[in-house]
Chain A
Amino acid sequence: MKRKAGRKAKSARAKRPRPARAAAETRPKNSIEVLVAASAQALGLTLDPAWHGSIAFNLGLILRHAALVDEFALPDDAEPAPVFHA
């Protein structure tokens, strides 16, 4: 049942992407800077403070690209394709 529902969702939803969630716009202004600092700590990365601005800029850019992908509706049974044979 669950898979069938997922396929139904695909035909209805995949053709008409949902409106952008604009995740970046709804975050607090300093959310990316906060994420950079917290992630660096969690990942064991020592950052020179002078790098923070550029890293935050690049992370913001990646997240904007990711938002464009994230807003595209996919069914629950969509399989990822990390490596495939074309």
Chain B
Amino acid sequence: MLETAAGDFAWDSAANIAAAVTAGRVSATHIVDATLARIRERDPLLNSFTAVTERRALARAQALDAARAKGQKLPPLAGVPFAVKNLFDVAGLPTLAGSKINRDMPPAARDAALIERLEAAGAILVGALNMGEYAYDFTGENIHDGPSRNPHDLDRMTGGSSGGSGAAVGGGLVPLALGSDTNGSIRVPSSLCGLFGLKATYGRLSRARTFPFVASLDHLGPFARTTRDLALAYDTMQGFDADDPACADRAAEPVVPHLDKGTGGLRIAVAAGYFKSKTAEAVAAVDSVASALGANRDIDIPQAERARSAAFVITASEGASLHLDRLRARAKDYDPAVRDRLIAGAMTPASLVVKAQKFRRWYREEVLKLFAEVDAILAPATPCTAPLIGQQTFRLGDVELPVRANLGLYTQPISFIGLPVVAVPVPLAPLPIAVQIIAAPWREDVALRIAHALEAQGVVAAPRPAF
């Protein structure tokens, strides 16, 4: 009876699902059954999942229901289904990282740290998600598994490289997913799929037991359809982890208790210069967010274009170093578009890479000075809404640019120095596009408060697709 009355919770937030499970209005088993049914029904169109962990998910759901039946207190994310980009280790599965080559790896022996933390809080892993090969991608296309498809227009890109994460949450398959962001791979799919995405401060969330790309730039983080869900997941996943050498030895700083504080007293500016949008949709998105926040001040992020170039060089070189042995042994098994960039990266003179790292420190010091004047900076997340799958170029002002390399034009200068960012979706018609709310290091609370206030005003929202 409980199950019959419950519905499928397809577009409910993680917070609502956990509240319903905790209160006994629905069982965790029903939630998981309904989620698995949605995946079976809709994922052939979205192509977001590469593995579904059905037995494991049902076993965990039944354990939660049994705990509740015994009167035990359920944890804060009880019964919330989630999925992870397939570069996260999932015990029993090879960690594909979007590649053909990794299919030959032995199954992972243990889950990634962030999966363990979410499941300790009652969330239930339902599968692994499609992604661009080895995360060197902004499109969400994958030559081995096919492209993940944008739920707002199945002919369009999800953005990448966490494309399956964008499609699965934006398409209503799961309320929560994890992805990685080296140069924008959470923020770009959030923008193109109309979602909230959090890239926390570099070193905040453990990357233990995930397949790396660029060690000095790699971040992990959540996608969701509400700010509160982002914050719930983020609070659950915080905390030092010695298994990730870059994870900061810093106490968790929960943000959920601060979400409703509003934006009063916060100094918010709009990024000028390099970040001034040249497409109508990006201009409209930034203007609507800035207007709602009363942010009428522009601020210049110094040398942002050069920062993007330095990130480009470091990415190519560090990524190539990671893959050099595989490039020697199995170059033909890579996506040619990824392989040729990695090989080129291996050939980049080291003196230029070190120069980029030196510039990085200079840039970081200059940008951090801005946070003496402001608490948050607004910038577009992507230069445009979702391009068509297979589209090679897009127009930005008077210039025709390659899609694959340039969807992260506005995200790269920010992740380059590890700043926390919340991508917030502006539900423009016919396609959404996101704005980045950028805060000072360790001030995820500021960015999430602003996102929550914008959501309360109705300025930003994850649009439900007709799909």
| Chain A residues packing against B (C-beta within 8 Å) | 14, 35-36, 39-40, 43-48, 51, 54-59, 61-63, 65-66, 68-70, 72, 74, 78-86
The CA of A1 and the CA of B353, in the complex, are separated in Å by 28
Contact A85 B203 (CB under 8 A): yes
Q: Which of B313, B347, B419 contacts A65 (CB 8 A)?
A: B313
Query: Could you list 5 examples of A-B contacts with CB < 8 Å?
Result: A36-B347, A43-B347, A61-B405, A66-B313, A74-B358
User: CA of A45 to CA of B347 in the docked complex: distance in angstroms?
Assistant: 10
Q: CB distance B362 to A78 under 8 Å?
A: yes
* B54 proximal to A (CB < 8 A): no
Task: Determine whether the beta carbon of A35 is less than 8 Å from that of B347.
Answer: yes
**Cα of A59 to Cα of B310 in the assembled complex, Å:** 14
Residues of B within 8 A of A62 (CB): 312-313, 316, 344-345, 348
Residue pair B352, A54 in contact (C-beta under 8 Å): no
- A84: chain B residues within 8 A (beta carbon): 202, 361, 364, 418
Chain B residues with CB below 8 A from A39, complex form: 346-347
- Taken together as a complex, chains A and B put the C-alpha atoms of A33 and B353 apart, in Å, by 20
Q: A43, B310: Cβ atoms under 8 Å?
A: no
Query: Which residues on the A side are within 8 Å of B355 (C-beta)?
Result: 66, 69-70, 74
Nearest opposing residue in chain B for A70, CB measure: B355
B341 near A69: Cβ-Cβ < 8 Å: no
Beta-carbon contact of B346 and A43 below 8 Å: yes
CA A50 to CA B451, docked complex, whole Å:
48
Determine if B306 is an interface residue (Cβ-Cβ < 8 Å): yes
Contact yes or no, A69 B336, CB < 8 A? no
Bound-state Cα–Cα, A83 to B364, Å: 12
Q: In the assembled complex, how far is the CB of residue B273 from the closest CB belonging to chain A, in whole angstroms?
A: 15
Name the 8 nearest CB pairs between A and B, nearest first.
Answer: A80-B357, A58-B344, A65-B309, A81-B361, A39-B347, A86-B441, A59-B344, A66-B352
Q: Cβ of B361 and Cβ of A51 under 8 Å apart?
A: no
A74 to chain B, nearest CB (A): 5
Bound complex: CA A51 to CA B312 (Å)? 21
Interface status of B447 (Cβ within 8 A of chain A): no
Asked if B354 lies at the interface with its beta carbon under 8 angstroms from chain A, I say yes
Chain B, residues 215-248, CB within 8 Å of chain A (1/0): the string is 1100000000000000000000000000000101
Instruction: Write out the residue numbers on chain B whose beta carbons fall within 8 Å of the beta carbon of A44.
Output: 328
Interface of B with A (CB < 8 Å)?
201-203, 215-216, 246, 248, 303, 305-306, 308-310, 312-313, 316, 324, 327-328, 331-332, 336, 339-341, 343-349, 352-362, 364, 405, 417-419, 441-442
Which of these, B201, B216, B248, B328, contacts A46 with CB under 8 Å? B328
Q: Report the separation of the CA atoms of residues A55 and B303 in the bound assembly, to the nearest whole angstrom.
A: 28
Is there an interface contact between A80 and B310, defined as CB atoms closer than 8 Å?
no
Contact A68 B202 (CB under 8 A): no
Closest beta carbon of chain B to A20's beta carbon, Å: 11
Nearest residue, chain B, Cβ from A42: B347
The secondary structure that dominates the A interface is helix
Residues of A contacting B201 with CB < 8 Å?
A: 86
Given contacts A43-B346, A43-B347, A62-B345, contact A69 B306 (CB under 8 A): yes
State the CA gap A46–B357 with chains docked (Å).
29
Q: B309 — nearest CB in chain A belongs to which residue?
A: A65
Q: How far is the CB of B337 from chain A (nearest CB, A)?
A: 8
B367 CB, nearest partner CB in chain A, Å:
11
B216–A59 touching, CB < 8 Å: no
Known: A45-B327, A62-B345. A68 touches B340 (CB 8 A): no
Residue of A66, A72, A79 near B348 (CB, 8 A) is: A66
- Contact check, A45 vs B202: say whether CB atoms are below 8 A apart: no
Instruction: Point out the residue from A14, A68, A82 that lies within 8 Å of B216, measured CB to CB.
Output: A82
Q: Whole-angstrom distance between the alpha carbons of A40 and B442 in the complex?
A: 42
Decide if A81 touches B343 in the complex (CB within 8 Å).
Answer: no
Q: Measured between alpha carbons, how far is A72 from B313 in the docked complex, in Å?
A: 15
Residues in B whose Cβ lies below 8 Å from that of A45:
327-328, 331, 343, 346
User: Is the Cβ of A80 less than 8 Å from the Cβ of B343?
Assistant: no
Given A48-B331, A59-B348, A74-B355, 8 other A-B contacts at CB below 8 A? Answer: A51-B336, A61-B344, A62-B344, A70-B352, A74-B358, A82-B216, A86-B201, A86-B442
Q: Which of A14, A51, A54, A85 has the most CB of B within 10 A?
A: A85
- Report Cα–Cα, A85/B246, bound state, in Å: 8
Q: How far is the CA of A43 from the CA of B312 in the complex (A)?
A: 21
A86 in complex: contacting residue of B332, B345, B418, CB < 8 Å: B418
Nearest chain A CB to B360 CB, angstrom units: 5
**Contact between B312 and A65, CB atoms less than 8 A apart:** yes
- A47, A66, A82 — which one has the most chain B CB atoms within 10 A of its CB? A66
* Given contacts A86-B203, A86-B417, A80 and B358 within 8 Å (CB-CB): yes
Please give, as numbers and ranges, the residues of chain B lying within 8 Å of A57 by CB-CB distance. 340
A residues in contact with B203, CB < 8 Å: 85-86
What chain B residues lie within 8 Å of A48 (beta carbons)? Answer: 331-332
Q: Tell me the bound Cα distance from A55 to B340 in angstroms.
A: 5
Establish whether residues A58 and B340, one from each chain, have CB atoms under 8 Å apart when the complex forms: yes
